[in-house]
Amino acid sequence: MLKRIVDIFTQKLPQQTVRSQFFEALFLGLFVGAFIYVFQPFGTYEDNFLYKDQLLLGYGVVVFIAYFPLKTGFLFLQKEDSPTLLRETLNLSLIFFLISIVCFIYFIAFISPDTAWTHFTDFIIFSFAIGILPLMLILFWRYFDAEQKALLEKSKSVTQKTEEKTIEIHGQNRGETYRFLEFDLIYFQSSGNYVEVFFTKDSEIRSVLIRSTLALISKQLPGENFINVHRSYLINRPHFSRLKKDQGKGSLISENLGVEVPVSRGNLNVAEQIVKDFR
């Protein structure tokens, strides 16, 4: 569990464009402006002052105007091609703290001039309570975007590497020969005196029974990608991206294909390495 958390926060994020920073600032500004207008925190619900609605919505404008240059400035100063999720979390927290200072100044200047700076701590707590949801959504989207791009790049890389390789598999029956592109093969399942071969064709998962054993089949396959993870299962490792564990048992999952293959207890370490190499 701890390792998974570390992996998440050390996940490399794609570099942001100015356009994505703009929409990030716009989303945060709209959320904060709408929230404050509807719920009116900071003791403003009972107050009636001139241009109240406009001034409450003004918080959103202040957040948008402050967030965009601050985020751009942080990225310019750090100048990293691949920031991590942890660094992005710290950046957003600091940026929102600075925005909260600007909002407090706005609160004193336009809404409650009699407010003393002794209330600043309470204001910051309220600000983070309001901002935690949109900030988490921004971080989630950044992480999800990174995961999708990483999977796409991995898939492209694997496809380019293996799509031209043809594998010929012979069964024990006379004339029983099948040819597959290496990347089309997903996994093999032992079934008595037969082996069921699962593969993709025309974007569909199909299967064929070959009279043979996993041991004989494995001798006909290149060793670098085809691995026994169970006494009855042999997989093509580039397809499998996630390992699910449950009470000492496990299964490898191909998220792209929606396929799940059991892993024996003794092969859990092998399965973990397969997933690590995929990432």
Cα distance between residue 29 and residue 226, in whole Å: 51
- Tally of CB atoms within 10 A around 130: 22
From first to last of the 279 residues of the chain, give the pLDDT tens digit: 677 777 778 878 888 888 889 999 999 999 999 998 888 876 666 677 778 889 989 999 999 999 999 988 888 887 656 688 888 899 999 999 999 999 999 989 988 888 888 889 988 998 898 889 999 999 888 888 888 877 777 666 655 555 568 899 999 998 899 999 998 999 999 988 999 999 999 889 999 999 999 999 999 998 788 999 999 999 999 999 999 988 778 999 998 899 999 999 889 999 999 988 876
Cα distance between residue 111 and residue 101, in whole Å: 15
Domains and CATH numbers, the chain: 2-150 (no CATH), 166-278 (2.40.50.1020)
pLDDT of residue 215: 92
pLDDT of residue 194: 95
DSSP string, 112-167: -TT--GGGHHHHHHHHHHHHHHHHHHHHHHHHHHHHHHHHHHHHHHHHHHHTT-EE
- Tally of CB atoms within 10 A around 103: 25
pTM of the model: 0.54
pLDDT of residue 93: 92
Encoded tokens for 165: 């390789």
pLDDT of residue 76: 80
